[in-house]
Structure 1
């Protein structure tokens, strides 16, 4: 310890001599120079074109922005739709301000955010951002609990749930409603959690445009894992599987549903088949499941119905869209390269009249 103290004392003595002999430069003030540049304003949220979706009519956001100046920031003002909602004139760092401004009165519609900054010499800069808060979706039909319009995003609007995207699906402007439709690709599909979707009665309706480059494909599947064959799953004891198979000139749509111990088939054969080279335009597909029967519809007409004892949902925690993967691939019903639009799910068994009313409303 004594030896270390001697080293420290020697270092202090050398430092003292160095300072006296100007070996180390003394700190001298530097003039800031001329104020030549205007402030730089950068808004990081919301950005231009942001669409804010929540389930409330009025919501809160944190407006985030940064201001820089070459000499010193004088003041900052923030306006929403022409009304001032924040101002600042004191800054810890006089050349840079990073701000997060809470705003709790954002209502539905288009909005204009303006952040302006003025430096000490009076030069002012501003950035303007146009964004929108979407009006919350309200279900249009009795029992509707899920709605995915695929308008440029894989979002379910009733609960604002984002899909898990597998592969590289896209969107197409060849659609029935809205601005876009889902466009399938090899190895691509979507999954949604099934929480809140499973009940004793179940219906799904959607528009579909076939692409027969894949002669068999899964379309909608809610099924359980297959521990006996995890690499080629085909457990059909619970949930359902809606898929198609056939040839380039004949494709048949089939529904399989599990009751907990066994599965039932609803295969309409010729009635549930189309010729893709002739019927390659948009068609409407629907199916319903109740405690007594299951029914499959094409373009609002029954193509298969039969008695059924009721669906079992054991282990059915994900909904697959436009593929049998990951729960129903044992027969090669994988990704569908076709188009899908206006997917809706209901917690009731729709009637034929209700299905036809939806078709007319969406494609009069």
Structure 2
């Protein structure tokens, strides 16, 4: 213990002599200098134009921003729609403040977030960010469980499920409703999980504007894997396949459905045919599957109707939109370069009257 004390004392003496003999520079105060610039304010969330979508009418967000000053920050105030929701005047780093402000009262509508920073000399900077919280979508029709309007985002609005995009699908302002529609591209399509979509009865309805090149494509597919043909799947014993095929002047919309052991075809022939050179406007396509029949509708009229014993959903875990890939690929029904808008799925077999009501509501 004595030896350690002697060593410590010797070290302190040596340090003292070293400082006096300029072996170690002494600390010299440096003047801060003139305060020449105003604070800098950077808001990282929400950003300008952010659209917040949640299933609740009132939600919580974390507001994130940074303030810098050349000399010293004096205070920071945060306002939401003109009401102060946060104030800061004590900073660990007097030149830089990185702040996360929890806010749990964000309601539907447009909002203006303002961050006001003032330095010690009184210079003030204000940064305003305009953003929006969308009103949660409420199903419009009985049995509606899926709605994708394709308004510049591949989002299903009832569950707020984002599609997985394969390739580079796009959007077009040539739409039926809203601001945009889905625009197909070579090698491109969307997939959604089928959680909550698979029921004893099933219907889908959407608007479609055809591009006949290529001369065949998948449009809407829920199918099972095909272990025997992993690179060109074509297992049709469960799920369904909506697709088109034909020529430059005659494209036929067809439906195939599996009941667990075999598949049934619902080909409307001329009643389900589109002439891409003549039928250049949007058309409405719908189909229904029940325990007794399947029906295909074109513009609200029956194109094909036939008996059916009920759909099997065995192995059906993904919905493909605007391609047969990956589960219906063997016959070349791949990506569709056409347009699609207002895709809705239902947990019931819609009646013809219900389909015609949807068409009337969405009619371009």
Q: Same fold (TM over 0.5)?
A: yes
Cα displacement string for residues 221-280 of structure 1 (whole angstroms, at most 9, x for unaligned residues): 000010010010000010000000011111011100001111111011121111111112
* 1:77 equivalenced with 2:91 (yes/no): no
Answering whether residue 334 of structure 2 is matched by residue 334 of structure 1, we say: yes
Distance 1:20 1:34 in 2: 33
- 2:4 maps to none
| 1:287 paired residue number | 287
Report the more deviating stretch, 328-337 or 273-282. 273-282
The equivalent of 2:312 in structure 1 is: 312
The 5 A counterparts of 1:260-271 are 260-271=260-271
Name 1:103's counterpart in structure 2: 103
Tell me, in whole angstroms, the C-alpha distance in 1 between the residues paired with 2:239 and 2:10: 82
The answer for the alignment partner of 2:3 in structure 1 is none
Q: SS of the counterpart of 1:353?
A: helix
Alignment match, 1:132: 132
**TM-score normalised according to structure 1 size:** 0.95
* Structure 2: distance between partners of 1:233 and 1:15: 79
1:117 maps to 117
2:357 aligned counterpart, secondary structure: helix
Aligned-partner Cα distance in 2 for 1:315–1:222: 9
Hey, what's the Cα distance between the residues in 1 that align with 2:162 and 2:145? 15
* Counterparts of 1:10 and 1:313, CA distance in 2: 84
Q: 1:166 maps to what in 2?
A: 166
Question: For residues 185 and 11 of structure 1, what CA distance do their matches in structure 2 show?
Answer: 76
Structure 1 residue ranges (4+ consecutive) displaced by more than 2 angstroms after TM superposition: 8-21
Task: Report the alpha carbon displacement of residue 23 of structure 1 after superposing the two structures with TM.
Answer: 3.3
Q: Supply the distance in 1 between the matched residues of 2:10 and 2:321 (Cα, whole angstroms).
A: 77
| Matched position secondary structure for 1:204 | strand
Q: Deviations over 1:73-131 (max 9, x none)?
A: 11100000000011011111111111110111111100000000111111110100000
Q: Structure 1 regions of 5+ residues with no counterpart?
A: 1-7
Quick check: 267-276 or 306-315, which moved more? 267-276
Residue 198 of structure 1 corresponds to 198
Q: Cα deviation per residue 1:190-224 (whole Å; 9 max; x = unaligned)?
A: 00010011100000000000001210000000000
Q: Note the residue ranges of structure 2 that are not aligned, 5 or more in a row.
A: 1-7
**2:5 alignment partner in structure 1:** none
Query: 1:306 and 1:265 mapped to 2: Cα distance?
Result: 9
Deviation at 1:30, TM superposition (A): 0.9
Q: Following the alignment from structure 1 to structure 2, what is the Cα–Cα distance between the partners of residues 17 and 317?
A: 78
Query: TM-score, with normalisation over the residues of structure 2?
Result: 0.95
Distance 2:61 2:9 in 1: 58
2:277: which partner in 1?
Answer: 277
Q: Which secondary structure does the structure 2 equivalent of 1:49 belong to?
A: coil
Q: CA deviation at 1:27?
A: 1.5
Q: Which residue of 1 aligns with 2:186?
A: 186
Q: What residue is the counterpart of 1:56 in the other structure?
A: 56
* 1:15 Cα deviation from its structure 2 partner: 6.6
Rounded Cα–Cα distance in structure 2 between residues aligned with 1:10 and 1:309: 97
SS in 1 for 2:129: strand
- The answer on 1:93 being equivalent to 2:81 is no
Residue equivalent to 1:152 = 152
Task: Quote the offset at 1:12 in angstroms.
Answer: 9.2
Alignment partners' CA distance in 2, 1:274 and 1:122:
70
SS of equivalent to 2:356: helix
SS in 2 for 1:355: helix
Shift of 1:16: 6.5
Task: Please state how far the C-alpha of 1:19 moved relative to its aligned partner.
Answer: 3.4
What is the aligned partner in structure 2 of residue 5 from structure 1? none
Q: Equivalents in 1 of 2:101, 2:200: separation in Å?
A: 47
SS in 2 for 1:150: coil
Paired with 2:20 and 2:69, the residues of 1 have a C-alpha distance of 38
1:298 aligns with 2:298: yes
Aligned CA distance change for structure 1 residues 10 and 225 (closer, same or farther; 3 Å): farther
User: In the aligned structure 2, how far is the partner of 1:9 from the partner of 1:105?
Assistant: 61
